[in-house]
Amino acid sequence: MSLNPPLRDWQGKTAWLIGASTGIGAATASALHAAGARVIVSARQAELLDKFVAAHPGSRALPLDVLDLPALHAAASELGPVDLCVYCAGYYRAMGAANFDLAEARRHLEINFNGVLHLLDAVLPQLLTAGTGHLSFISSVAGYRGLPKALAYGPSKAALSHLAEALYLDLHPRGIGVSVIHPGFVKTPMTAQNDFHMPAEISPEQAARAMLAGWAAGDFEIHFPKRFTRFMKALRQLPYRLYFPLVSKTNR
């Protein structure tokens, strides 16, 4: 059963991707452009956005910082209602209790969660008036349960996933789609800093294809690659007395 209105025909549709200068965001913007969507890409790195536009005729660059609320409001007002708005911006630094850094922890929350609140403040009035559109947020399987080295990243993504669920309950009756993306390991500049083996790692292009397939199916949760994310989902069902020893072993 589709939980959202399926998004299949992108001809004539407008997609705005925030955090689309590299990684999953850039790959998804490229896939949407190839499918016929009018694509607007936003991020702080204007030069990378310009390169994207040069390679994708008809697309548009709209540089901004997700922490700049007035800039988000100005962009949303200029663009008007869009068919799909994807929050791709993210921040990750490995962190444990022994190297806890308050400023870094706050930065995770600012970019991974508060940036989404800024976006909602800018676009929700338009969406509610239009009674159509789709909001999609890139979270992470790291938000499923507590994980080693994810003392800052995991909680910020868990909060984002929870927010998406609450939004769905509010917006679905109004005809507005909401989806949350839970990627496993994707080869991006963000994951390049990891010093451990990343099982079932996929490319940003593979991630983009999975996202478009999920939107076409009307899914609320889009997770990939399934061979990894299904295992992570299974871990959510374990009681703590089993979960903690198992995950501790994988971190040795």
The span from the CA of 11 to the CA of 20, in Å, is 20
Q: Which of 153, 168, 240, 243 is catalytic?
A: 153
pLDDT of res. 186:
82
Residue 195: the pLDDT is 64
Read off the pTM.
0.94
In this predicted structure, the answer to whether residue 111 has a pLDDT above a threshold of 80 is: yes
Which run of H or of E encompasses 185? none
The angle formed by the CA atoms of residues 76, 163 and 232, to the nearest 5 degrees, is: 125
In the chain, what are the domain boundaries?
14-250
Tell me phi and psi for residue 225, to 5 degrees: -70, 140
- pLDDT for 194: 62
Dump pLDDT digits (tens) for 157-204.
999 999 999 999 999 999 999 999 999 878 866 665 666 566 678 999
Residue reference for tokens 């040069």: 54
CATH of 14-250, one of 3.40.50.300, 3.60.150.10, 3.30.1310.10, 3.40.50.720: 3.40.50.720
- The model's pLDDT over 133-157, given as tens digits with 9 standing for 90+, comes to 999 999 999 999 999 999 999 999 9
Residue 249 has a pLDDT of 81
Q: What is the pLDDT of residues 59-93, one digit of tens each?
A: 999 999 999 999 999 999 999 999 999 999 999 99
The amino acid at residue 39 is V
Residue 153 annotated as catalytic: yes
